[in-house]
Amino acid sequence: MEFRTVARGADSRARAGIIETTHGPIETPVFMPVGTQATVKTLSPEELEAAGVQVVVANSYHLYLRPGPALIEKAGGLHRFMGWPRPILTDSGGFQVFSLSDLRSIDDEGVTFRSHLDGSKHLFTPESVVEIQVRLGADIIMAFDECVPYPASYEYARRSTELTLDWAQRCRAEWEKASAALENPPALFGIVQGSTYADLRRQCAERLVELELPGYAIGGLYVGESKSQSAEVIDEVAGMLPDDKPRYVMGTGLPEDLIDNVARGIDMFDCVLPTRNGRTGTLFTSRGKVVVKNAIYAEDFSPLDPECDCYACRHFTRAYLRHLFSAGEILAPRMASLHNVTFFTALMRKARQAIVEGRFVEWSRQAMTRWSSQNELTEVEH
C-alpha cells in the first residue's frame, strides 16, 4: 500500500490523497460503507460500484465466527467470496468482541469470549487477529485493540491504553512475519485509544507512530462522549500522526462529522449509518434528513433527493418508497440504502474536489447550510 497527498486545503488542514492498493486506488477523503458479514446490507457489489464506493469494511469477528476464515480462504479470499473486486479493509474485531460477545475475559494474552451466535468459547490474541485478517485477504487490516467504553475512569483507560499499545506491537510483529510470505501483503493500521484523556491519547499516538505503521486510525470515539470531546481528541491526535500516512476516524457517520473531520485532516471514515438508517426509512439528502415513512410524503412525487443521480432517485418517488416501506417490501430498504451510500460517497467526492480546487471551507459552509435547511431529525441512531 502507498499513500500520497495530491492537494491540500489552502484554508484548512483538509487534504486530498490517493491510497494505492493491490485491488486498486482509493481516493481520499473516502467514506467506506460497512459490509460486516461480507455484504453491505441489502446491496450488490454492482450497486456499490455504481454508488461510487471505492472500499468496503468487513468484520473479522463476524467472519471468523461465520463462515470462518478457512472457508473464505478456500473460496479464494474475501474479494472473490463476496464478488467485490475493489479494496477491502477489515476491522480487527476488537469493538465486536467487547460489544457483542458474552463472558469475555481480558488478560495480557488476549480476550477469551463466547460467540454471540452459539455460545462457543474462543480466544482472540493480537497474533490470531492478524492471522485471521491475512487469511481473509484484506488490503488494509487493523491492529487488535480494546475499545474503551465511555465513560471510563482514568485508571481503567490508562491500563487499557497500555494493553492496546502492547497488542499493537505484537500485531506488528505478526504482520511482519506474515507479510514476508505474501506477494501482496496487507497494510496494518494502528488504532489510537485513550478514551477522552488528552495525555493518554497523546502517549498512545506517540508510541504507535514509533512503530512506523502504514496508517493510523483513531478509535473509541462516538461511543457516548460529547461532540466537543471527540472533536478535541481528533484535533489533538490528527496533528500528531505522520503527514505521509492515511488517517482514519472509525465509526463516524453524520455528514457534519465527516465534513468537520476532513477539515481536521482525516482521510478515511466508516459507519453503518447510511445502511442502518436506510433500512429504517431515513434518507440523507442534500437538504437534510427525510424520514420517508412520514405521512407528509404519501403524495410526494419528487425524487428521494432531487440532486442525486443514483438509480433510486432516477426511478422512484418518495411516495413510492413510502408505499414500499408501509407494505414491508424489501425494495424499500434496498433503495434507501443505495441512495444513502451514494449520498455519503458523493459527499466525500465533493469534499475532495473542493480541496483540490482550494475552496474546501467555502464548500463545507454551503453544504452544511443546505444540509441543515430541511432537517427533520435532531437525533439519529448511531
In angstroms, the CA 330 to CA 345 distance is 23
> Is 271 marked as a binding-site residue?
no
**CB 6: neighbour CB atoms within 10 A?**
13
> Cβ 348 to its own copies, closest distance in Å?
24
The residues, ordered by sequence, that sit 6+ positions from 74 with a Cβ below 8 Å of its Cβ are none
Catalytic (active site) residue 300: no
Catalytic residue among 139, 257, 267, 270: 270
Cβ density class 26-40: b for 16+ within 10 Å, e for less? bbbbbbbbbbbebbb
According to the annotation, is 24 in a ligand binding site? no
Asked whether residue 339 is marked as a ligand-binding residue, the answer is yes
DSSP secondary structure of 214-251: SEEEE-S-SSS--HHHHHHHHHHHHHHS-TTS-EEETT
Q: Closer CB to its own copies, residue 66 or residue 121?
A: 66
Minimum separation from the CB atom of position 278 to its own copies (A): 11
CB of 235 to its own copies, least distance (A): 38
Task: Please check whether residue 59 is in contact with residue 110, taking contact to mean a CB–CB distance below 8 angstroms.
Answer: no
Using the minimum distance from each CB to its own copies, give the nearer residue, 302 or 375.
302
CB of 331 to its own copies, least distance (A): 5
Question: Is 229 a known ligand-binding residue?
Answer: no
Q: Could you give the angle at which helices 227-240 and 198-210 cross, rounded to 10 degrees? A: 30
d(CA 304, CA 302): 7
Q: Which residues bind its own copies (CB under 8 A)?
A: 37-39, 41-46, 62, 66-67, 71, 74-76, 81-83, 298-299, 301, 311, 315-317, 319-320, 323-324, 326-327, 329-331, 333-335
94 annotated to bind ligand = yes
Q: How far is the CB of 46 from its own copies (least distance, A)?
A: 7
Our CB check for its own copies shows the closer of 73 and 225 to be 73
In the complex with its own copies, which residue's Cβ is closer, 171 or 313? 313
Q: Is 95 annotated among the ligand-binding residues?
A: yes
Distances (CA, A) of 154 to 25, 151, 159, 203, 222: 40, 9, 9, 14, 18
Nearer to its own copies, 72 or 354 (CB): 72
**Residue corresponding to grid cell 474479494:** 79
Q: Is 11 annotated as a binding residue?
A: no
329 vs 357, which CB is nearer to its own copies? 329
The backbone torsions φ and ψ at residue 225, rounded to the nearest 5 degrees and listed phi first, read -70, 170
Separation CA 288–CA 26 (nearest Å): 27
91, 139, 257, 260: the catalytic one is 91
Residues 40, 333: Cα–Cα separation, whole Å: 12
DSSP 199: H
**Minimal distance, residue 99 CB to its own copies, in Å:** 18
Binding site, annotated residues: 91-95, 145, 193, 220, 308, 310, 313, 339
Binding site, annotated residues for Zn(2+): 308, 310, 313, 339
Residues serving a catalytic function are 91, 270
Binding site, annotated residues for substrate: 91-95, 145, 193, 220
